[in-house]
Amino acid sequence: MNTLLSFKDVWVEYGDRIVIEKLTLDIEAGSFVSIVGPSGAGKSSFLRLILGQEAPTQGEILMDGTPLRAECGPDRGIVFQRYSVFPHLSALRNTMLGMECEKSPIATRLFGARRRAAREEAVEMLKAVGLGDSLDLYPAQMSGGMQQRLAIAQALVKRPRILLLDEPFGALDPGIRADMHTLIRRLWSDYGLTIVMVTHDIREAFSLGTRVLALDKRRHDPHAPHRFGATAVYDLPLKDRIVHIPDERVSITID
Amino acid sequence: MLLGSLPILLLVLAYLVLAANRHAVNPADKILPLPSSMAESMSALMFVPDQLSGQLVFWADTLASLQRLGIGLGISTLMALMVGLALGVLPPVRATFGPLVTGIAVIPPIALLPILFIALGLGETAKVALIVIGIAPVMIRDIAAHVASLPREQIIKAQTLGASSWQVMIRVALPQAMPRLLHALRLALGPAWVFLISAEAIASDVGLGYRIFLVRRYLSMDVIIPYVAWIAVLAIVMDVVLTVLSKRLFPWAHGENH
């Protein structure tokens, strides 16, 4: 396994408040890393670092050995808990947007053969997430689960090096959440994805991940609680998980 | 629809009863004219060319007013879209021009009318300018606020899909501002009419507002009432057209949740 992403002594500080301290870890290509931890323990900051939305105060983050640029780019896909899809575009157009942005910088529209190719690829991806019959629906006409499926398809169409999931299933019903778990496991193995998922659900973290990272503050100063940052307090590899991938394709239901 | 027309019918009925009562006492009453005298005056304005100008007065008035209103609304809408989008998406632009727009928005436009007449003369420009100054700042602020309140997640998502700032502007912000723009335009119709009639009342030689304020001198309620009704009809038609247009063009903004 080769290292995709490595954190080298990373610190994140806002003013005199330290959020993340001394974080050093490697994320291997093809792994499914679950991030857990209490609120305010830097889970979101960690995700924002990978996303490039913010830069570390100290230390550096390497992607494939080169320093990560502190801006959001198409090599990192993201699915948020909410607002990940564009309400003014149909499922198909939502999925095509990424390709249109890349191939048509000014007009952001494709025509002719290139449009057909983009459409085909988008349809393929929507079928893979189980939205093959909902191409022309707008997000407002979809359930929460369908919207998250769409958000995943939208990100995957760009073939990101790393897929970030920010509590992606937090707002879903338990039954639908189980379907989504099956789906994300399948996509992860089918497309050889590297996934970093932040979650509040410990069971979800362990059942999906090949590795669970717990972020928390190692030390606590009651007089100055903001002066100690969080770091990875537990780093649990779950080896046997990699081999056992339940093939439950048939049980995928459209909610 | 049927239920909604009931109060209007009652109002018309009440007017007819009152007018008939007054005419029973004084057949030459001018305050509450009967429909017959309204029809008579209006048909003269609609179908008989004016002796001085040779124009059909009613239609000339309507055309002049709609033209002023249309140009004013058009300029305001365009400004709202471009300035509002820039203010909403680009924080440096908002920091620089936000206070100016707010400053202009809080000035009562009618207070500016003398300045406009002095600076731009008594022609069409001053009237259109009054409408624009009256409604554009409010529309700009509405669009800017709407665009600025788009979820941060959407912008990040677009960037991870490879979108540049320009692409975020035209593919994410602009389309989501469009239904809001039509909505803002609908709400601006009322004030726009107020400013139009005001400008026409003060200095003009043609227009619906001009005519109303002209015949007021002769107590010509038989012209004023049909003119006011006509303005109401025009305003309602515009409102309905904008609503239908918005639903037709942006179905995603009107669909009820699943």
Give residue-wise pLDDT tens across range B249-258: 998 888 654 4
Residues of chain B positioned with their CB less than 8 A from the CB of A142: 258
pLDDT, residue A1, reads: 58
pLDDT, residue B257, reads: 47
Asked if the Cβ–Cβ distance from A73 to B160 is below 8 Å, we say: yes
Is A21 inside a domain boundary?
Answer: yes
Local confidence band at B178 (pLDDT 50, 70, 90 cut-offs): very high
Local confidence band at A251 (pLDDT 50, 70, 90 cut-offs): very low
Comparing CB atoms, the residue among A85, A102, A108 nearest residue B171 is: A108
CA distance B78 to chain A (A): 20
Is B258 inside a domain boundary?
Answer: no
pLDDT at A246 exceeding the cut of 80: no
* B73 and B174 in a common domain: yes
* B16 and B130 in a common domain: no
Q: What is the pLDDT of residues A167-178, one digit of tens each?
A: 888 888 888 888
Q: What is the pLDDT of residues B72-111, one digit of tens each?
A: 999 999 999 999 999 988 888 989 998 999 898 889 988 9
Is B21 inside a domain boundary?
Answer: yes
CA distance A199 to chain B (A): 17
Average pLDDT, rounded, for chain B? 91
Residue A113 domain boundaries: 86-159
* A169 and A143 in a common domain: no
pLDDT at A252 exceeding the cut of 50: no
Is A223 inside a domain boundary?
Answer: yes
The residues, ordered by sequence, that sit 6+ positions from A124 with a Cβ below 8 Å of its Cβ are none
Local confidence band at A44 (pLDDT 50, 70, 90 cut-offs): confident
pLDDT, residue B258, reads: 42
Local confidence band at B142 (pLDDT 50, 70, 90 cut-offs): very high
pLDDT at A70 exceeding the cut of 80: no
Return the CATH number at B207: 1.10.3720.10
* A254 and A187 in a common domain: yes
pLDDT, residue A9, reads: 86
Residue B26 domain boundaries: 1-32
* B97 and B165 in a common domain: yes
Domain boundary, last residue among A159, A179, A196? A159
Local confidence band at A239 (pLDDT 50, 70, 90 cut-offs): low
Q: Per mean pLDDT, which range of A1-15, A240-254, B153-167, B210-224 is the poorest?
A: A240-254
Residues of chain B positioned with their CB less than 8 A from the CB of A105: 164, 166-167
* B19 and B84 in a common domain: no
State the SS3 of chain A: CCEEEEEEEEEEEECCEEEEEEEEEEEECCCEEEEECCCCCCHHHHHHHHHCCCCCCEEEEEECCEECCCCCCCCEEEECCCCCCCCCCCHHHHHHHHHHHHHCCCCCCCCHHHHHHHHHHHHHHHHHCCCCCCCCCCHHHCCHHHHHHHHHHHHHCCCCCEEEEECCCCCCCHHHHHHHHHHHHHHHHHCCCCEEEECCCHHHHHHHCCEEEEEEECCCCCCCHHHCCEEEEEEEECCHHHHCCCCCHHHCCCC
Comparing CB atoms, the residue among A82, A90, A108 nearest residue B170 is: A108
Q: Per mean pLDDT, which range of A64-78, B111-125, B164-178 is the poorest?
A: A64-78
* A172 and A248 in a common domain: yes
Are the beta carbons of B148 and B84 closer than 8 angstroms?
no
* B196 and B83 in a common domain: yes
Asked if the Cβ–Cβ distance from A74 to B253 is below 8 Å, we say: no
* A166 and A70 in a common domain: yes
* C-alpha span between B238 and B192 (Å, rounded): 12
| Average pLDDT of span B140-169 | 90
* A46 and A35 in a common domain: yes
Asked if the Cβ–Cβ distance from A74 to B250 is below 8 Å, we say: no
* A168 and A242 in a common domain: yes
CA distance B146 to chain A (A): 14
Residues of chain B positioned with their CB less than 8 A from the CB of A71: 159
Residues of chain B positioned with their CB less than 8 A from the CB of A158: 160-162
| Average pLDDT of span B211-234 | 93
Asked if the Cβ–Cβ distance from B167 to A105 is below 8 Å, we say: yes
The domain total for chain B is 2
CA distance B96 to chain A (A): 25
Asked if the Cβ–Cβ distance from A101 to B162 is below 8 Å, we say: yes
Is A80 inside a domain boundary?
Answer: no
In this predicted complex, what is the ipTM?
0.84
* A8 and A133 in a common domain: no
The domain total for chain A is 2
Which token pair is B102? 């707010």
Are the beta carbons of A185 and A206 closer than 8 angstroms?
no
Residues of chain A positioned with their CB less than 8 A from the CB of B255: 138, 140-141
Is A179 inside a domain boundary?
Answer: yes
Is B178 inside a domain boundary?
Answer: yes
* B113 and B58 in a common domain: yes
* A252 and A236 in a common domain: yes
Does residue B247 sit at the A interface (CB-CB below 8 Å)? no
Is A255 inside a domain boundary?
Answer: yes
| Average pLDDT of span A128-138 | 88
Residues of chain A positioned with their CB less than 8 A from the CB of B176: 86-88
Domain boundary, last residue among A159, A182, A213? A159
* A181 and A145 in a common domain: no
* A103 and A45 in a common domain: no
Is A71 inside a domain boundary?
Answer: yes
| Average pLDDT of span B228-249 | 94
Does residue B159 sit at the A interface (CB-CB below 8 Å)? yes
* C-alpha span between B130 and B192 (Å, rounded): 9
pLDDT, residue B128, reads: 94
Residues of chain A positioned with their CB less than 8 A from the CB of B163: 97, 101, 108
Residues 36-65 (A) with a CB less than 8 A from some CB of B: 51, 53
Residues 62-91 (A) with a CB less than 8 A from some CB of B: 71-74, 76-78, 80, 82-90
Domain boundary, last residue among A159, A175, A201? A159
CA distance A221 to chain B (A): 34
Is A185 inside a domain boundary?
Answer: yes
* B74 and B54 in a common domain: yes
* A250 and A209 in a common domain: yes
| Average pLDDT of span B22-51 | 90
Asked if the Cβ–Cβ distance from B160 to A78 is below 8 Å, we say: yes
* C-alpha span between B69 and B231 (Å, rounded): 12
CA distance B79 to chain A (A): 22
**Chain A residue with Cα closest to B172:** A86
* B219 and B191 in a common domain: yes
pLDDT, residue A240, reads: 54
A-B CB pairs within 8 A amount to 93
Asked if the Cβ–Cβ distance from A80 to B257 is below 8 Å, we say: no
* A234 and A180 in a common domain: yes
pLDDT at A218 exceeding the cut of 50: yes
pLDDT, residue B53, reads: 83
pLDDT at A7 exceeding the cut of 60: yes
Closest to B197 (Cα-Cα) out of B119, B78, B113, B80: B113
Q: What is the pLDDT of residues B40-58, one digit of tens each?
A: 999 988 888 888 888 899 9
* B232 and B142 in a common domain: yes
